[in-house]
Chains A and B, each alone.
Chain A
């Protein structure tokens, strides 16, 4: 690997910095004058929110079936692919033999999450999406470990709208092909299975 070296010449004095100071003040005054005619540079957050991309990777949500139960089948693909190891799942048995499995626990530690969206890419059931919610606050660490029911309840939140989600996703295609190949192609990352020794 070649290392790019940037040499900065600091031997020459840079002056008193009056010119950059004036440039900055000019921008400030420009914005002040614009705001007088209603062109604000800032918004009144949190009452108003910026219009962010529909593919924004914010706080996760779990999608649901028609009966309101999570669509997730606890396959652990998201937990496997997660680079921050922030997803914890426990599986249980569902009575329907065509579904069989569901998460009895599904927690995401939002403090560890790096919002990469790999979990969304890896999901074979379109069960995990991300929302556009980005103003995440809490008063304790525990509060920001978001459990299954909160992840599901978020699915009904309409004010932020869904964020990153699979655009076209065919559930019948093997997961490894859809998600992992793309990761490898775009990021050179082969995530997932740890090497089994012996």
Chain B
């Protein structure tokens, strides 16, 4: 394997590695615009110039392969001069409207100009070529003046989605990017265009003017939109979530997420979130404290012992599921989760990029924890025959599915996050926290266990599902004694053979794959 020296530090890399990649492995940042780790190399921006010993001229780091004995310096006066002149050239027609630009704070142009810029501009603002601004392309806003013509958006559309919406038009200093007849970007991955754009030329319409990015704090999490489990950053400030951004994980989602997943941030602060417990249905419905509701639910379940059905939800974290499973085992209750057969679609693709047909984040976790036991049809039949006298649902799926239409179960309790008409047929509603409000893990389609971190606090009076199950266990049997999802995961890793030896620390930022997928698929259905 070739060994090279970058800024005096040696590194051995596989053949074919570029100087840019080798430098990144060493933690050396080479300024760039057009290079992106998940897009093909283009080498058009000329920003990543480095000094290679014995080479007659500066070379671009992104497209120069490392050869044995290569000596590279990124900090010579020649390289700095190249960076400065490239930036000056890019800024000739740049509007410098950072105060109104949403990219400010995460802009490559801004950041690199601070390091390498020529701070006294030689071009008057009146002499600049004016291009199209505030062009509404549906989910994306285009500002052609801010564009550095790096072609990242073109390559994203060509290589990732295959939609080719963007093209360069005109020539010379009038070159700009455009869609045909200004048609809006219509595919499900448009949000990534704003992410790949290194400057403020393509910006998210949804995030427009909402918040300056330097106020936002990221929390590492996983998208709950489907079984792919794309890694995301939840950007929040003062308990409010402003946007999701893809978090790079080359093994799962690379640098992308779909627009459907990106839009899920609205669910968290939504107006229809449940904020209190409810007992009784129809005219008898009354708001009660969570403790009183749990007492009532526990009493009804105790009364119905032997005839209790528990339905888990693939929306819950592994920790929620484990606490729920423990509750089911303590009660000797019928347990299942497969409303609508999500486990049969967990690996089925919904498109050629990321989205999968199963829109639950943790169906595989349910399968791994053997939550599918009694069978949905059997539970429904037992409800009909009166064998099941109390149902405890971890999510509203069963009520929404219509499987219980015309069946009068004496007592139905449901843990739910959002108000919905289907909840009207429940006798008790326990308000549950959403996945962004507490720690946990999801297991994705390929059995990769991934961590979610809490981004914002849950609303007052709302508890995570694991805590609701733990409270019921405390009232009905022996509690697990877990004070946090971390404790629960330790218990889970002890109890479930596939997860043995795992801990939050061992999972790490990129997740951990359990065993072979095929083995799980074969043994998944009970």
- Are A and B associated in one complex? yes
- State the A residues within 8 Å of B (CB): 73-77, 80, 91-93, 97-101, 124-125, 172-177, 192-194, 196-198
B99, B119, B134: the one within 8 Å of A124 (CB): B99
What are 20 A-B pairs with beta-carbon distances under 8 A?
A: A73-B99, A73-B100, A74-B100, A74-B209, A75-B104, A75-B212, A77-B99, A91-B209, A93-B208, A100-B100, A124-B99, A172-B96, A172-B121, A173-B119, A174-B114, A174-B119, A175-B99, A194-B215, A197-B217, A198-B233
The 6 closest A-B pairs by CB, nearest first: A75-B99, A91-B209, A101-B100, A76-B212, A97-B134, A97-B133
The yes or no answer to B499 lying at the interface (CB within 8 A) is no
- B133 and A98 contact, CB distance less than 8 A: yes
**Please, which residues of chain B bring their CB within 8 A of the CB of A193?**
105, 214
B216 to A, closest residue via Cβ: A196
**Chain A binding surface SS class:** loop
Within the complex, what minimum Cβ distance (angstroms) separates B382 from chain A?
Answer: 48
A196 to B, closest residue via Cβ: B218
- A196 and B119 contact, CB distance less than 8 A: no
Within the complex, what minimum Cβ distance (angstroms) separates A71 from chain B?
Answer: 11
Within the complex, what minimum Cβ distance (angstroms) separates B508 from chain A?
Answer: 13
Within the complex, what minimum Cβ distance (angstroms) separates A191 from chain B?
Answer: 11
The yes or no answer to B125 lying at the interface (CB within 8 A) is yes
- A194 and B214 contact, CB distance less than 8 A: yes
Interchain CA distance A174-B117 in the complex, whole Å: 11
**Please, which residues of chain B bring their CB within 8 A of the CB of A80?**
212, 214-215
The yes or no answer to B504 lying at the interface (CB within 8 A) is no
- A101 and B209 contact, CB distance less than 8 A: yes
- List B residues 122-140 near A (Cβ within 8 Å): 125, 133-134
Besides A77-B99, A196-B214, 11 other A-B contacts (C-beta < 8 A): A73-B100, A75-B98, A80-B214, A98-B133, A99-B100, A174-B110, A175-B99, A176-B114, A193-B214, A197-B218, A198-B218
B120 to A, closest residue via Cβ: A173
**Please, which residues of chain A bring their CB within 8 A of the CB of B110?**
174
Interchain CA distance A107-B475 in the complex, whole Å: 50
- State the B residues within 8 Å of A (CB): 96-100, 104-105, 110, 113-114, 117, 119, 121, 125, 133-134, 208-210, 212, 214-215, 217-218, 220, 233
**Please, which residues of chain A bring their CB within 8 A of the CB of B96?**
172, 174
Within the complex, what minimum Cβ distance (angstroms) separates B212 from chain A?
Answer: 4
A127 to B, closest residue via Cβ: B99
Within the complex, what minimum Cβ distance (angstroms) separates A113 from chain B?
Answer: 19
- A75 and B100 contact, CB distance less than 8 A: yes
- A192 and B214 contact, CB distance less than 8 A: yes
B114 to A, closest residue via Cβ: A176
**Please, which residues of chain B bring their CB within 8 A of the CB of A177?**
119
Interchain CA distance A176-B110 in the complex, whole Å: 10
B125, B134, B217: the one within 8 Å of A196 (CB): B217
**Please, which residues of chain A bring their CB within 8 A of the CB of B104?**
75
- A198 and B209 contact, CB distance less than 8 A: no
Within the complex, what minimum Cβ distance (angstroms) separates A177 from chain B?
Answer: 6
Within the complex, what minimum Cβ distance (angstroms) separates A112 from chain B?
Answer: 16
Interchain CA distance A77-B212 in the complex, whole Å: 9
**Please, which residues of chain B bring their CB within 8 A of the CB of A92?**
209
- A100 and B133 contact, CB distance less than 8 A: yes
**Please, which residues of chain A bring their CB within 8 A of the CB of B212?**
75-76, 80
**Please, which residues of chain A bring their CB within 8 A of the CB of B98?**
75, 124, 174-175
Interchain CA distance A59-B208 in the complex, whole Å: 31
Within the complex, what minimum Cβ distance (angstroms) separates A11 from chain B?
Answer: 56
**Please, which residues of chain A bring their CB within 8 A of the CB of B97?**
100
Interchain CA distance A174-B97 in the complex, whole Å: 10
Within the complex, what minimum Cβ distance (angstroms) separates A76 from chain B?
Answer: 4
Within the complex, what minimum Cβ distance (angstroms) separates A180 from chain B?
Answer: 10
B214 to A, closest residue via Cβ: A193
Interchain CA distance A192-B220 in the complex, whole Å: 23
Within the complex, what minimum Cβ distance (angstroms) separates A118 from chain B?
Answer: 16
Interchain CA distance A99-B214 in the complex, whole Å: 22
**Please, which residues of chain B bring their CB within 8 A of the CB of A100?**
97, 100, 133-134
Interchain CA distance A192-B96 in the complex, whole Å: 20
Within the complex, what minimum Cβ distance (angstroms) separates A30 from chain B?
Answer: 56
**Please, which residues of chain B bring their CB within 8 A of the CB of A173?**
119
Interchain CA distance A125-B105 in the complex, whole Å: 18
**Please, which residues of chain A bring their CB within 8 A of the CB of B99?**
73, 75, 77, 101, 124-125, 175
Within the complex, what minimum Cβ distance (angstroms) separates A62 from chain B?
Answer: 15
Within the complex, what minimum Cβ distance (angstroms) separates B362 from chain A?
Answer: 23
Within the complex, what minimum Cβ distance (angstroms) separates B134 from chain A?
Answer: 4
Within the complex, what minimum Cβ distance (angstroms) separates B265 from chain A?
Answer: 18
Known: A91-B209, A177-B119, A193-B214. A172 touches B125 (CB 8 A): yes
Within the complex, what minimum Cβ distance (angstroms) separates B357 from chain A?
Answer: 31
**Please, which residues of chain B bring their CB within 8 A of the CB of A74?**
100, 209
Interchain CA distance A196-B233 in the complex, whole Å: 12
Within the complex, what minimum Cβ distance (angstroms) separates A42 from chain B?
Answer: 46
Within the complex, what minimum Cβ distance (angstroms) separates B35 from chain A?
Answer: 21
Interchain CA distance A98-B143 in the complex, whole Å: 11
Interchain CA distance A175-B104 in the complex, whole Å: 11
Interchain CA distance A124-B104 in the complex, whole Å: 13
Interchain CA distance A91-B104 in the complex, whole Å: 15
Interchain CA distance A81-B114 in the complex, whole Å: 18
